Amino acid sequence: MANMSPMFVRLSGQTVLLVGAGLVARRKAQALVRGGAILKIVAPHISEDICELSADSSFHYEPYQTAHMTNVSWVVAATDDQQVNMQVYQDAIARNLPVNIVDRADLSTFTLPSVIHRDPMLIAVGSGGASPVLARAVRGRIEAAIPASFGDLAELMSRFRQQVKNTITSLDDRRRLWQNVVDGPVAEAVFSGNPQVAERLLQEQIEAAKDQTTAVGEVFLVGAGPGDPDLLTIKAIRLMQLADVVLYDNLVSDAIMDLTRADAERVYVGKRASKHAMPQQQISQLLADYAQKGKRVLRLKGGDPFIFGRGGEEIELLAEAKIPFQVVPGITAAAGCGAYAGIPLTHRDCAHSVRFITGHLARDGSELPWQELVQPQQTIVFYMGLLGLSNIVERLQQHGLPADYPIALVEKGTLPQQRVVVGTLGTICDEVTLQQVRGPTLIIMGQVVTKRDKLKWFDAAN
Protein backbone atom coordinates (compact mmCIF):
# COMPACT_ATOMS: atom_id res chain seq x y z
CA MET A 1 0.00 0.00 0.00
CA ALA A 2 1.24 3.47 -0.80
CA ASN A 3 2.12 5.60 2.20
CA MET A 4 1.70 8.90 0.40
CA SER A 5 -1.20 10.64 -1.23
CA PRO A 6 -0.93 13.47 -3.76
CA MET A 7 -2.70 16.75 -3.11
CA PHE A 8 -2.52 20.27 -4.47
CA VAL A 9 -1.84 22.97 -1.93
CA ARG A 10 -2.60 26.66 -2.23
CA LEU A 11 0.89 27.90 -1.37
CA SER A 12 0.44 31.53 -2.22
CA GLY A 13 1.16 33.73 0.75
CA GLN A 14 2.53 30.87 2.84
CA THR A 15 6.08 30.93 4.15
CA VAL A 16 8.34 27.98 3.51
CA LEU A 17 11.56 27.60 5.45
CA LEU A 18 14.27 26.36 3.10
CA VAL A 19 17.46 25.22 4.76
CA GLY A 20 20.37 25.02 2.34
CA ALA A 21 21.22 26.96 -0.82
CA GLY A 22 23.05 24.54 -3.09
CA LEU A 23 21.98 23.31 -6.50
CA VAL A 24 19.25 21.05 -5.18
CA ALA A 25 17.94 23.74 -2.86
CA ARG A 26 17.85 26.11 -5.80
CA ARG A 27 15.64 23.71 -7.80
CA LYS A 28 13.29 23.37 -4.85
CA ALA A 29 13.26 27.13 -4.35
CA GLN A 30 12.32 27.64 -7.98
CA ALA A 31 9.44 25.16 -7.77
CA LEU A 32 8.16 26.66 -4.53
CA VAL A 33 8.28 30.22 -5.83
CA ARG A 34 6.46 29.15 -8.97
CA GLY A 35 3.77 27.71 -6.69
CA GLY A 36 3.39 31.09 -4.98
CA ALA A 37 5.35 30.47 -1.77
CA ILE A 38 7.32 33.07 0.17
CA LEU A 39 10.73 31.65 1.04
CA LYS A 40 12.78 32.02 4.17
CA ILE A 41 16.20 30.75 3.16
CA VAL A 42 18.80 29.79 5.74
CA ALA A 43 22.38 28.95 4.72
CA PRO A 44 25.88 30.29 5.47
CA HIS A 45 26.36 31.09 1.74
CA ILE A 46 23.53 31.99 -0.59
CA SER A 47 24.31 32.67 -4.22
CA GLU A 48 22.86 35.67 -5.98
CA ASP A 49 20.80 33.70 -8.44
CA ILE A 50 18.77 32.25 -5.57
CA CYS A 51 18.26 35.72 -4.14
CA GLU A 52 16.89 36.84 -7.49
CA LEU A 53 14.19 34.19 -7.52
CA SER A 54 11.70 36.15 -5.51
CA ALA A 55 11.56 39.61 -4.04
CA ASP A 56 9.35 38.50 -1.15
CA SER A 57 11.84 36.04 0.25
CA SER A 58 14.03 36.63 3.27
CA PHE A 59 17.62 35.45 3.57
CA HIS A 60 19.54 34.39 6.66
CA TYR A 61 23.26 34.07 6.02
CA GLU A 62 24.06 31.75 8.93
CA PRO A 63 23.96 28.11 9.95
CA TYR A 64 20.53 26.72 10.81
CA GLN A 65 19.26 27.17 14.36
CA THR A 66 15.99 26.07 15.88
CA ALA A 67 14.96 29.71 16.22
CA HIS A 68 14.60 29.90 12.41
CA MET A 69 11.53 27.74 12.66
CA THR A 70 9.18 30.50 13.71
CA ASN A 71 6.43 31.96 11.57
CA VAL A 72 6.75 29.34 8.85
CA SER A 73 4.13 26.90 7.57
CA TRP A 74 6.28 24.40 5.69
CA VAL A 75 9.84 23.17 6.08
CA VAL A 76 12.25 21.94 3.43
CA ALA A 77 15.89 21.00 4.01
CA ALA A 78 18.33 20.41 1.20
CA THR A 79 21.76 20.37 2.78
CA ASP A 80 24.41 17.69 2.44
CA ASP A 81 25.01 17.72 6.18
CA GLN A 82 22.97 14.86 7.59
CA GLN A 83 23.22 16.24 11.11
CA VAL A 84 21.64 19.51 10.09
CA ASN A 85 18.97 17.64 8.13
CA MET A 86 18.16 15.54 11.19
CA GLN A 87 17.98 18.61 13.42
CA VAL A 88 15.58 20.33 10.99
CA TYR A 89 13.45 17.21 10.85
CA GLN A 90 13.21 16.87 14.63
CA ASP A 91 12.43 20.56 15.14
CA ALA A 92 9.67 20.45 12.52
CA ILE A 93 8.09 17.30 13.94
CA ALA A 94 8.15 18.81 17.43
CA ARG A 95 6.20 21.78 16.06
CA ASN A 96 3.83 19.72 13.97
CA LEU A 97 5.08 21.35 10.78
CA PRO A 98 5.03 19.43 7.51
CA VAL A 99 8.64 18.71 6.56
CA ASN A 100 10.57 17.53 3.54
CA ILE A 101 14.20 16.45 3.79
CA VAL A 102 15.41 16.17 0.24
CA ASP A 103 16.28 12.62 -0.81
CA ARG A 104 15.23 11.26 2.59
CA ALA A 105 11.73 9.86 2.15
CA ASP A 106 12.07 8.40 5.67
CA LEU A 107 12.53 11.92 7.10
CA SER A 108 9.73 13.57 5.12
CA THR A 109 6.05 14.05 5.78
CA PHE A 110 5.66 15.45 2.28
CA THR A 111 7.67 15.47 -0.95
CA LEU A 112 7.76 17.91 -3.82
CA PRO A 113 6.65 16.20 -7.02
CA SER A 114 8.06 16.69 -10.47
CA VAL A 115 5.55 19.02 -12.12
CA ILE A 116 4.40 19.30 -15.72
CA HIS A 117 2.97 22.78 -16.19
CA ARG A 118 -0.02 23.17 -18.45
CA ASP A 119 -1.37 26.08 -16.47
CA PRO A 120 -4.09 26.22 -15.23
CA MET A 121 -3.62 22.46 -15.31
CA LEU A 122 -0.80 20.88 -13.31
CA ILE A 123 0.38 17.30 -13.55
CA ALA A 124 2.47 16.04 -10.67
CA VAL A 125 4.65 12.93 -10.66
CA GLY A 126 6.20 11.35 -7.61
CA SER A 127 8.13 8.11 -7.31
CA GLY A 128 7.29 7.63 -3.64
CA GLY A 129 10.94 8.23 -2.82
CA ALA A 130 12.03 5.30 -5.01
CA SER A 131 13.93 7.36 -7.55
CA PRO A 132 13.80 11.02 -8.55
CA VAL A 133 15.45 10.03 -11.84
CA LEU A 134 12.56 7.71 -12.58
CA ALA A 135 10.04 10.44 -11.79
CA ARG A 136 11.86 12.76 -14.17
CA ALA A 137 11.83 10.11 -16.91
CA VAL A 138 8.09 9.68 -16.51
CA ARG A 139 7.73 13.41 -16.57
CA GLY A 140 9.62 13.54 -19.88
CA ARG A 141 7.18 11.11 -21.41
CA ILE A 142 4.20 13.04 -20.18
CA GLU A 143 5.70 16.29 -21.44
CA ALA A 144 5.97 14.72 -24.88
CA ALA A 145 2.50 13.17 -24.84
CA ILE A 146 0.57 16.22 -23.69
CA PRO A 147 0.86 19.15 -26.06
CA ALA A 148 2.24 22.34 -24.61
CA SER A 149 -1.00 24.05 -25.59
CA PHE A 150 -3.04 21.83 -23.28
CA GLY A 151 -3.18 24.75 -20.89
CA ASP A 152 -4.88 26.84 -23.58
CA LEU A 153 -7.50 24.13 -23.88
CA ALA A 154 -8.03 24.13 -20.12
CA GLU A 155 -8.40 27.90 -20.25
CA LEU A 156 -10.96 27.73 -23.09
CA MET A 157 -12.97 25.08 -21.28
CA SER A 158 -13.07 27.03 -18.08
CA ARG A 159 -14.20 30.14 -19.99
CA PHE A 160 -17.17 28.26 -21.51
CA ARG A 161 -18.04 26.26 -18.43
CA GLN A 162 -20.83 28.51 -17.21
CA GLN A 163 -22.39 28.95 -20.64
CA VAL A 164 -22.51 25.19 -21.13
CA LYS A 165 -24.05 24.74 -17.70
CA ASN A 166 -26.74 27.26 -18.54
CA THR A 167 -27.49 25.85 -22.00
CA ILE A 168 -27.31 22.11 -21.47
CA THR A 169 -29.22 20.95 -18.43
CA SER A 170 -28.52 17.23 -18.45
CA LEU A 171 -25.32 16.28 -16.68
CA ASP A 172 -24.79 13.35 -19.07
CA ASP A 173 -25.11 15.58 -22.11
CA ARG A 174 -22.68 18.03 -20.65
CA ARG A 175 -20.18 15.31 -19.93
CA ARG A 176 -20.50 14.00 -23.50
CA LEU A 177 -19.99 17.49 -24.88
CA TRP A 178 -16.81 18.06 -22.87
CA GLN A 179 -15.54 14.64 -23.83
CA ASN A 180 -16.00 15.53 -27.50
CA VAL A 181 -14.23 18.81 -26.91
CA VAL A 182 -11.20 17.10 -25.39
CA ASP A 183 -11.04 14.33 -28.00
CA GLY A 184 -12.19 16.22 -31.04
CA PRO A 185 -11.73 19.10 -33.43
CA VAL A 186 -11.98 21.78 -30.74
CA ALA A 187 -8.92 20.45 -28.91
CA GLU A 188 -7.16 19.87 -32.19
CA ALA A 189 -7.81 23.44 -33.27
CA VAL A 190 -6.31 24.68 -29.99
CA PHE A 191 -3.28 22.41 -30.34
CA SER A 192 -2.63 23.53 -33.88
CA GLY A 193 -2.70 27.17 -32.84
CA ASN A 194 -6.14 28.21 -34.12
CA PRO A 195 -7.95 29.58 -31.06
CA GLN A 196 -10.64 31.38 -33.05
CA VAL A 197 -11.51 28.23 -34.96
CA ALA A 198 -11.61 26.32 -31.66
CA GLU A 199 -14.03 28.80 -30.20
CA ARG A 200 -16.30 28.72 -33.25
CA LEU A 201 -16.33 24.90 -33.27
CA LEU A 202 -17.11 24.84 -29.57
CA GLN A 203 -20.04 27.22 -30.08
CA GLU A 204 -21.28 24.96 -32.86
CA GLN A 205 -21.00 21.91 -30.64
CA ILE A 206 -22.93 23.61 -27.87
CA GLU A 207 -25.67 24.50 -30.37
CA ALA A 208 -25.69 20.95 -31.74
CA ALA A 209 -25.88 19.46 -28.25
CA LYS A 210 -28.81 21.76 -27.46
CA ASP A 211 -30.69 20.63 -30.60
CA GLN A 212 -29.52 17.03 -30.15
CA THR A 213 -28.05 16.98 -33.66
CA THR A 214 -24.80 15.22 -34.53
CA ALA A 215 -21.81 17.47 -34.81
CA VAL A 216 -19.60 16.88 -37.80
CA GLY A 217 -16.42 14.85 -37.21
CA GLU A 218 -12.97 15.53 -38.50
CA VAL A 219 -10.42 14.06 -40.87
CA PHE A 220 -6.73 13.67 -40.04
CA LEU A 221 -4.48 13.25 -43.05
CA VAL A 222 -1.38 11.86 -41.42
CA GLY A 223 2.05 10.98 -42.76
CA ALA A 224 3.15 7.68 -41.25
CA GLY A 225 6.78 7.95 -42.35
CA PRO A 226 8.73 5.36 -44.29
CA GLY A 227 8.11 2.35 -42.04
CA ASP A 228 9.99 2.45 -38.74
CA PRO A 229 7.29 3.26 -36.15
CA ASP A 230 9.82 5.26 -34.12
CA LEU A 231 9.81 7.80 -36.94
CA LEU A 232 6.19 8.77 -36.37
CA THR A 233 5.65 12.27 -35.05
CA ILE A 234 4.18 12.81 -31.61
CA LYS A 235 1.18 14.41 -33.25
CA ALA A 236 0.68 11.44 -35.57
CA ILE A 237 0.60 9.07 -32.61
CA ARG A 238 -1.82 11.24 -30.73
CA LEU A 239 -4.27 11.37 -33.64
CA MET A 240 -3.83 7.65 -34.29
CA GLN A 241 -4.96 7.01 -30.72
CA LEU A 242 -7.97 9.22 -31.23
CA ALA A 243 -9.46 8.14 -34.55
CA ASP A 244 -12.64 6.06 -34.75
CA VAL A 245 -11.99 4.99 -38.34
CA VAL A 246 -8.68 4.35 -40.12
CA LEU A 247 -8.26 4.34 -43.91
CA TYR A 248 -4.91 2.83 -44.85
CA ASP A 249 -2.99 1.33 -47.74
CA ASN A 250 0.06 -0.80 -48.59
CA LEU A 251 2.77 1.61 -47.60
CA VAL A 252 1.71 1.60 -43.96
CA SER A 253 3.49 -1.16 -42.02
CA ASP A 254 1.77 -3.51 -39.57
CA ALA A 255 3.92 -2.18 -36.74
CA ILE A 256 2.43 1.24 -37.40
CA MET A 257 -1.14 0.01 -37.76
CA ASP A 258 -0.72 -1.59 -34.33
CA LEU A 259 -0.46 1.91 -32.86
CA THR A 260 -3.96 2.89 -33.96
CA ARG A 261 -6.80 2.43 -31.49
CA ALA A 262 -7.55 -1.26 -31.05
CA ASP A 263 -11.30 -0.73 -31.39
CA ALA A 264 -11.06 1.58 -34.43
CA GLU A 265 -12.72 0.50 -37.65
CA ARG A 266 -10.07 -0.27 -40.32
CA VAL A 267 -10.76 0.30 -44.00
CA TYR A 268 -8.24 -0.90 -46.56
CA VAL A 269 -8.14 1.34 -49.62
CA GLY A 270 -4.84 0.37 -51.23
CA LYS A 271 -3.66 -1.94 -53.94
CA ARG A 272 -3.24 -5.66 -53.37
CA ALA A 273 -1.84 -7.96 -56.02
CA SER A 274 -5.24 -9.21 -57.10
CA LYS A 275 -7.27 -6.12 -56.39
CA HIS A 276 -7.20 -2.66 -57.86
CA ALA A 277 -6.81 0.38 -55.71
CA MET A 278 -9.92 2.24 -54.76
CA PRO A 279 -10.31 5.22 -57.08
CA GLN A 280 -9.18 8.48 -55.51
CA GLN A 281 -12.62 10.02 -55.82
CA GLN A 282 -14.12 7.17 -53.85
CA ILE A 283 -11.56 7.52 -51.05
CA SER A 284 -12.31 11.22 -50.72
CA GLN A 285 -16.03 10.49 -50.63
CA LEU A 286 -15.51 7.85 -47.94
CA LEU A 287 -13.53 10.31 -45.80
CA ALA A 288 -16.31 12.87 -46.14
CA ASP A 289 -19.07 10.34 -45.39
CA TYR A 290 -17.48 9.09 -42.19
CA ALA A 291 -16.76 12.62 -40.99
CA GLN A 292 -20.33 13.68 -41.69
CA LYS A 293 -21.50 10.87 -39.43
CA GLY A 294 -19.53 12.52 -36.66
CA LYS A 295 -16.52 10.19 -36.81
CA ARG A 296 -12.91 11.11 -36.35
CA VAL A 297 -11.31 9.72 -39.44
CA LEU A 298 -7.62 8.95 -39.85
CA ARG A 299 -6.20 8.77 -43.36
CA LEU A 300 -2.76 7.23 -42.91
CA LYS A 301 -0.29 7.73 -45.72
CA GLY A 302 3.18 6.30 -46.15
CA GLY A 303 5.92 8.93 -45.86
CA ASP A 304 4.63 12.46 -46.15
CA PRO A 305 1.06 12.97 -47.40
CA PHE A 306 2.00 15.89 -49.62
CA ILE A 307 4.97 14.25 -51.31
CA PHE A 308 3.78 11.93 -54.08
CA GLY A 309 1.00 10.95 -51.72
CA ARG A 310 -2.02 12.46 -53.46
CA GLY A 311 -2.84 13.95 -50.09
CA GLY A 312 -3.85 17.20 -51.72
CA GLU A 313 -6.40 15.47 -53.94
CA GLU A 314 -7.95 13.58 -51.07
CA ILE A 315 -8.74 16.63 -49.00
CA GLU A 316 -10.04 18.87 -51.77
CA LEU A 317 -13.52 17.47 -51.40
CA LEU A 318 -13.37 17.96 -47.62
CA ALA A 319 -12.39 21.57 -48.06
CA GLU A 320 -15.34 22.09 -50.42
CA ALA A 321 -17.74 20.41 -47.99
CA LYS A 322 -16.33 22.47 -45.08
CA ILE A 323 -15.42 19.35 -43.14
CA PRO A 324 -12.66 20.12 -40.64
CA PHE A 325 -9.37 18.46 -41.45
CA GLN A 326 -5.73 18.58 -40.47
CA VAL A 327 -2.60 17.56 -42.31
CA VAL A 328 0.29 16.08 -40.36
CA PRO A 329 3.62 15.84 -42.17
CA GLY A 330 5.59 12.62 -42.07
CA ILE A 331 9.18 11.72 -42.80
CA THR A 332 9.28 11.24 -46.52
CA ALA A 333 11.00 8.18 -48.02
CA ALA A 334 13.92 10.27 -49.28
CA ALA A 335 14.73 11.58 -45.80
CA GLY A 336 14.15 8.21 -44.12
CA CYS A 337 16.08 6.12 -46.66
CA GLY A 338 18.90 8.64 -46.89
CA ALA A 339 19.37 8.63 -43.13
CA TYR A 340 19.08 4.87 -42.67
CA ALA A 341 21.32 4.11 -45.67
CA GLY A 342 24.02 6.54 -44.54
CA ILE A 343 23.60 8.68 -47.66
CA PRO A 344 23.33 12.40 -46.90
CA LEU A 345 21.10 13.93 -49.56
CA THR A 346 23.13 17.11 -49.72
CA HIS A 347 26.81 17.58 -49.02
CA ARG A 348 29.03 20.62 -49.30
CA ASP A 349 31.54 18.61 -51.39
CA CYS A 350 29.25 17.35 -54.08
CA ALA A 351 25.54 18.15 -53.84
CA HIS A 352 24.15 21.65 -53.41
CA SER A 353 20.60 20.67 -54.17
CA VAL A 354 18.38 17.64 -54.11
CA ARG A 355 15.50 16.85 -56.37
CA PHE A 356 12.59 14.50 -55.67
CA ILE A 357 11.09 13.14 -58.84
CA THR A 358 8.49 10.53 -59.71
CA GLY A 359 9.74 7.60 -61.77
CA HIS A 360 6.20 6.64 -62.54
CA LEU A 361 6.34 8.68 -65.71
CA ALA A 362 9.46 6.89 -66.95
CA ARG A 363 7.39 3.75 -67.28
CA ASP A 364 4.68 5.00 -69.55
CA GLY A 365 7.09 6.64 -71.97
CA SER A 366 6.39 10.24 -70.93
CA GLU A 367 9.31 12.56 -70.91
CA LEU A 368 11.13 13.69 -67.79
CA PRO A 369 13.33 16.81 -67.78
CA TRP A 370 16.45 14.70 -68.49
CA GLN A 371 18.65 17.67 -69.31
CA GLU A 372 18.07 19.07 -65.82
CA LEU A 373 18.66 15.74 -64.15
CA VAL A 374 22.17 15.36 -65.51
CA GLN A 375 23.42 18.66 -64.10
CA PRO A 376 26.41 18.42 -61.71
CA GLN A 377 26.34 19.06 -57.94
CA GLN A 378 22.90 17.66 -57.29
CA THR A 379 21.27 14.57 -55.87
CA ILE A 380 18.34 12.99 -57.70
CA VAL A 381 15.85 10.90 -55.79
CA PHE A 382 13.40 8.81 -57.75
CA TYR A 383 10.21 7.69 -56.05
CA MET A 384 8.32 4.84 -57.77
CA GLY A 385 11.26 4.33 -60.08
CA LEU A 386 12.00 0.61 -59.85
CA LEU A 387 9.85 -0.54 -62.76
CA GLY A 388 11.10 2.23 -65.00
CA LEU A 389 14.72 1.86 -63.92
CA SER A 390 16.16 0.57 -67.19
CA ASN A 391 14.54 3.41 -69.08
CA ILE A 392 15.80 5.95 -66.52
CA VAL A 393 19.34 4.59 -66.70
CA GLU A 394 19.36 4.58 -70.48
CA ARG A 395 18.04 8.11 -70.87
CA LEU A 396 20.41 9.58 -68.29
CA GLN A 397 23.37 8.07 -70.13
CA GLN A 398 22.06 9.35 -73.45
CA HIS A 399 21.98 12.81 -71.90
CA GLY A 400 25.57 12.59 -70.83
CA LEU A 401 25.93 10.93 -67.42
CA PRO A 402 28.90 8.52 -67.34
CA ALA A 403 28.48 4.77 -66.85
CA ASP A 404 30.30 4.97 -63.52
CA TYR A 405 27.83 7.50 -62.06
CA PRO A 406 26.93 6.31 -58.52
CA ILE A 407 23.44 5.07 -57.75
CA ALA A 408 21.85 3.35 -54.75
CA LEU A 409 18.59 1.49 -54.39
CA VAL A 410 17.06 1.38 -50.92
CA GLU A 411 14.51 -1.37 -50.52
CA LYS A 412 12.09 -1.27 -47.55
CA GLY A 413 14.06 1.62 -46.12
CA THR A 414 14.09 2.14 -42.31
CA LEU A 415 12.50 -1.29 -41.72
CA PRO A 416 14.42 -4.22 -40.24
CA GLN A 417 14.37 -5.79 -43.75
CA GLN A 418 16.06 -2.77 -45.33
CA ARG A 419 18.45 -3.64 -48.17
CA VAL A 420 20.72 -1.19 -49.94
CA VAL A 421 22.07 -2.09 -53.35
CA VAL A 422 24.84 0.20 -54.54
CA GLY A 423 26.11 0.33 -58.08
CA THR A 424 26.59 2.60 -61.06
CA LEU A 425 24.45 3.52 -64.02
CA GLY A 426 26.33 0.83 -65.90
CA THR A 427 25.80 -2.00 -63.42
CA ILE A 428 22.60 -1.29 -61.51
CA CYS A 429 20.10 -3.02 -63.79
CA ASP A 430 22.03 -6.30 -63.60
CA GLU A 431 22.24 -5.92 -59.83
CA VAL A 432 18.48 -5.49 -59.59
CA THR A 433 17.92 -8.76 -61.45
CA LEU A 434 20.64 -10.57 -59.56
CA GLN A 435 19.51 -9.47 -56.13
CA GLN A 436 15.80 -9.58 -56.96
CA VAL A 437 15.09 -6.09 -55.67
CA ARG A 438 11.40 -5.46 -54.99
CA GLY A 439 9.36 -2.49 -53.85
CA PRO A 440 9.00 -0.25 -52.14
CA THR A 441 12.33 0.95 -53.40
CA LEU A 442 13.81 4.40 -53.54
CA ILE A 443 16.52 5.36 -56.01
CA ILE A 444 19.21 7.82 -54.98
CA MET A 445 21.73 9.08 -57.55
CA GLY A 446 24.73 11.31 -57.30
CA GLN A 447 28.17 11.54 -55.71
CA VAL A 448 26.60 11.50 -52.24
CA VAL A 449 26.05 7.76 -52.68
CA THR A 450 29.79 7.20 -52.23
CA LYS A 451 29.60 8.65 -48.70
CA ARG A 452 27.74 5.55 -47.60
CA ASP A 453 30.93 3.49 -47.33
CA LYS A 454 31.95 5.56 -44.34
CA LEU A 455 28.55 6.59 -42.97
CA LYS A 456 26.45 3.47 -43.08
CA TRP A 457 25.21 2.44 -39.65
CA PHE A 458 21.84 0.81 -39.90
CA ASP A 459 22.57 -2.35 -41.91
CA ALA A 460 25.45 -3.02 -39.59
CA ALA A 461 23.00 -3.15 -36.70
CA ASN A 462 20.89 -5.77 -38.44
Contact by Cβ (8 Å): 297, 191 = no
Cβ neighbours of residue 105 closer than 8 Å, sequence gap 6 or more: 111, 128, 129
> Within positions 217 to 276, which residues make up the interface with ligand SAH, using CB under 6 A?
226-227, 251
Q: Which is nearer to ligand SAH, 227 or 423 (CB)?
A: 227
Q: Which is nearer to ligand SAH, 126 or 413 (CB)?
A: 413
Task: Identify the residue among 441, 444, 446, 449 touching ligand SAH (CB under 6 A).
Answer: 441
Closest C-alpha to 356, from 337, 342, 340: 337
440 part of the interface to ligand SAH, by CB under 6 A: yes
Query: What distances in angstroms separate CA 312 from CA 217, 274, 294, 309, 320, one per listed residue?
Result: 19, 27, 22, 8, 13
Query: What distances in angstroms separate CA 396 from CA 126, 292, 337, 445, one per listed residue?
Result: 62, 49, 22, 11
Asked if the peptide bond before residue 120 counts as cis, ω within 30 degrees of 0, the response is yes
439 part of the interface to ligand SAH, by CB under 6 A: yes
Q: Which is nearer to ligand SAH, 309 or 406 (CB)?
A: 309
Residue number closest to ligand SAH, CB atom: 303
Task: Identify the residue among 245, 283, 327, 333 touching ligand SAH (CB under 6 A).
Answer: 333
338 part of the interface to ligand SAH, by CB under 6 A: no
Query: Which SS3 state, helix, strand or coil, does residue 116 take?
Result: strand
Q: Just list the catalytic residues.
A: 249, 271
410 part of the interface to ligand SAH, by CB under 6 A: yes
Q: Which is nearer to ligand SAH, 82 or 417 (CB)?
A: 417
Task: Identify the residue among 332, 341, 355, 373 touching ligand SAH (CB under 6 A).
Answer: 332
Q: How far apart are CA 354 and CA 361, in angstroms?
A: 19
Minimum CB separation of residue 358 from ligand SAH in Å reads 8
> Within positions 144 to 203, which residues make up the interface with ligand SAH, using CB under 6 A?
none
Helices and strands counted in the chain (H then E): 19, 17
Binding window for ligand SAH (CB under 6 A); candidates: 27-35, 210-218, 312-320, 439-447: 439-447
> Within positions 307 to 326, which residues make up the interface with ligand SAH, using CB under 6 A?
307-309
379 part of the interface to ligand SAH, by CB under 6 A: no
Q: Is 36 left (phi over 0), alpha (psi -120 to 50) or beta?
A: left
Closest C-alpha to 64, from 82, 50, 44, 94: 44
Contact by Cβ (8 Å): 260, 319 = no
**Where on the chain is the footprint of ligand SAH (CB under 6 A)?**
226-227, 251, 301-304, 307-309, 332-333, 337, 383-384, 410, 412-414, 439-442
